[in-house]
Structure formats: C-alpha cells, structure tokens
Amino acid sequence: MRRATKRRVRVFLWFVLAGIFIGVAYGSLLGGMFRGTALVGGSIGAIDGAVIAIPIAAFEIFLLRTRWGRAVQQAPFLVTFGVKWLAYGLLVTAVNLRSPGAFLLGLLSLAAPLPVSLALLSVAFSFMAAFAFLFALHVSQIVGARTLGHIVFGRYHRPHVEDRFFLFIDVRGSTTLAERIGAAAVHRFLAAVFRLASDPIDDYGGEIYQYVGDEMVVTWASAEGGRGARPIACFFAIAGALEGARSEFEREFGVAPQVRAALHAGVVISGEIGESKREIVFHGDVMNTAARMEQVTRELGRPFLVSADALKRVKGSERYAQEPLGPQVLRGREAPVEVYALTMTRSGEPE
C-alpha cells in the first residue's frame, strides 16, 4: 500500500472515530433527557455517528481525489460549498430523524419519537453542524490546517524563536514553457505539479509555507523534520511522483516537469502579522540562504543541494549519496555556506 494511501486510511479511521464519539455524546444527552437511559442513547448515537461519518469521510478523503471529485472542487466556491452543505445537512437530518442505530439495535420500542419541537431543532442543528464543519474544512484548505489551528489558538500572537527546515522547490523551465504554450496553459501545468507534490508533503509531515510563481516553500520544525530525514525524503518523493506522471504531462503540455531544490535549516523568528488578512510568517537569514542556495543549483548543475547545517539536523541521511561541494559564496551573504549535492541510491529509497 502506498504511503499516501496509508495516511488517508488513518485519517479516514480517525474521522469515523470522531463521528462515533460525537454520536455517543449527542445520543447520551438525548437518551438521558427524553428516553430515560443515557446508555441506550449512547449506543444508538454511536451507530448514527458512524453512519454519518463514513460517507462524508469517504467523499472528502477518497472520492475528491478522483477526476470527478476534482471537477467538484474546481466548481465556483459557493457552488461547491452549497452542494456539499445541502448534501451533508440532509444526511445528518435523515439520520437524526430516522435513527439507523435504533433500527439496528431493535430498540424502536425504547426510542420513542422525539417531540415535534425537538425534531425541528434537530434539523436546524444538522444544518448548522454541517455548515460549521464545511466552513472549517474549506478555510483550512485555504490557509493550511496547522496555520488555522495556530491562528485560532493564538500561538503566534507573540513572536517565537524556532529552529526549522526550509525546502525551496523550483519548477524548471516554466518561463520558457510560457513562451511556447501561453500563460494559461502554464498555470494549469504548475497547478498539476503542485497538486502531485501535495501528497509527498503531507506524507512526510511538511507544511506548505507559500507559493511564489513557479516555486513553493515547504517547512518543518527541526524536531519533526529530523526524524527519518523527512525533508530529503519529501523532495525525492515529489520528484518520483512527477516522473510517474511524465507521460500525462508530455501528452497534455509537450514537456515533463522537472524540479530542483535547496534545503537549509536554522533559527527563525515566527509570528502572526496582518489585520484584514492574517498570516504566519518566518523571518531570518535561514530563508534568504535557502533561496540563494536554490539559485545556485543552476550554476552548479545539481538538482538538489543541502546545507551542512540541515544535514547535521537529520537522521537517516546516510541512505542518500552525498557529494560534498565545499563552501559556496552566495549572493548577498558574506559568510560562505558548506553544501552537499544529494542523489538517490537504491539502498536510499524511502521506505
């Protein structure tokens, strides 16, 4: 089973467990208040929660990855949001009003019909819950799930000093390609590249910091990224995913994408900025150095450069072939940076 598939299955199971837990809590409350037994209500709620969570999780985690699912995602935001809200709201309403849990457990005699006022409240609750879920989901897709969590809980209201990895990835030849196929086609080309890159980034626990033209910046906290040389494995997984889609790109755009990247690590200042649009940003020499290293990949003719500072922070880098290139003088930086060119080896293929 592919690493991405395993991750999605884990997310699916956690989603279903969360639905069951919420169902138990909701069912116990209703059972204690209107059916005289919280235990029976909780049992019914567990089944109802699973019935609600399974189709929603399957759609969001698996079906949206298909061609049909991508078409849904590419519809106007209000259309996508509205259709999903209506569908999820109706599903929750149907389960609340016609409890599968009560039917499956044969407890219809104990599950007396709810009062009309409570039934109407249940319908309102169903659509409110569906709206809240979709709103949080879509906002997290726009700003990133971790960034949304940090903003909600105010972690970065005050600046923090953090030790982080930064992986700068550049799509090679996009400027030349734009001259040949046009800006609109290049946008589709880059969108396809970044879509394929998202799975390896999620698989190895990275956070997409930003997209800048034909570049993307991915970051890890040092403690997380150091395990299993995740930033290094992530880059090679992205390169592998693009190579696997070579024929599709050549058929549609006449060229296959290639990427080059630079990895650096060190201390940065992180904090929340902005008023009308809030964003968590990182400041420090590490960012500038990583950007300059990515530019040097062109001069040195190496697709992937890793600084000595980054290399000493990772565990498992011996799986990769390392070519020392010595100290390199980077534009705008006085002190040279010792860099290595990394390539895959058969024994270094990520597990």
Average pLDDT over residues 28-38: 73
Torsions phi, psi of 145, nearest 5? -60, -45
Q: Is 212:295 a contact under the CB 8 Å cutoff? A: no
Q: How far apart (Å, rounded) are the C-alpha atoms in residues 80 and 74?
A: 8
Q: Distance between CA atoms of 275 and 285, rounded to whole angstroms?
A: 25
| 202-238 confidence digits (pLDDT tens) | 999 999 999 988 999 999 999 999 999 999 999 999 9
Cα gap 13→5, rounded to integer Å: 12
CATH 3.30.70.1230 fits 157-343, yes or no: yes
**What was the pLDDT predicted at 240?**
94
Per the prediction, the chain carries an average pLDDT of 86
Confidence bin at 246 (pLDDT 50/70/90): very high
In the chain, what percentage of residues exceed pLDDT 90? 47
For residues 25-33, average pLDDT:
79
| Token representation of residue 330 | 């980077």
Angle at 204 between CA 158 and CA 253, to 5 degrees: 110
Structure confidence by residue, pLDDT tens digits, 145-174 = 777 777 777 777 788 899 999 999 999 877
pLDDT surpassing 80 at residue 110: no
Burial of 99 (0-12, 13-18, 19+ CB in 10 A): buried
- For 284, phi and psi rounded to 5 degrees? 150, 165
Average pLDDT over residues 69-79: 80
Every domain of the chain and the residues it spans? 3-143, 157-343
Confidence at residue 218, expressed as pLDDT on a 0 to 100 scale: 97
Least confident of 66-70, 92-96, 300-304: 66-70
Residue 348 has a pLDDT of 44
CA 83 distance to own-chain centroid: 23
Judged against a pLDDT cut of 70, whether residue 113 lies above it is answered with no
Distance CA 95, CA 109 (A): 18
pLDDT > 60? residue 350:
no
Prediction pTM value: 0.82
Buried b (16+ CB within 10 A) or exposed e, 157-192: eeeeebebbbbbbbbbebeebbeebeeeebeebbeb
Encode burial over 15-28: b for 16+ CB neighbours within 10 A, e otherwise.
Answer: bbeebbebbbebbb
pLDDT computed for residue 109 by the predictor: 59
The residues facing 29 across adjacent strands are none
Average pLDDT in the 19-40 region?
80
pLDDT of 347 > 50? The answer is: no
Q: Can you say whether residue 182 is alpha, beta or left, with left for phi > 0 and alpha for psi between -120 and 50 degrees?
A: left
3-state secondary structure of 277: coil
Structure tokens at 175: 């400027």
Is pLDDT larger for residue 347 or for residue 338?
338
CA atoms lying within 13 Å on the CB side of residue 335: 6
pLDDT at site 349: 47
Provide the strand spans (E) within the chain.
160-171, 207-212, 215-221, 259-273, 279-283, 304-307, 321-328, 337-343
Give the model confidence (pLDDT) of 305-332 as tens digits.
999 999 999 998 889 999 999 999 888 7
CA angle 85, 90, 94 (to 5 degrees): 155
Question: Could you give the C-alpha distances from 122 to 83, 116, 176, in angstroms and in order?
Answer: 20, 10, 58
For 197, the token pair is: 């890159």
- Return the closest-CA partner of residue 300 out of 258, 257, 341, 338: 341
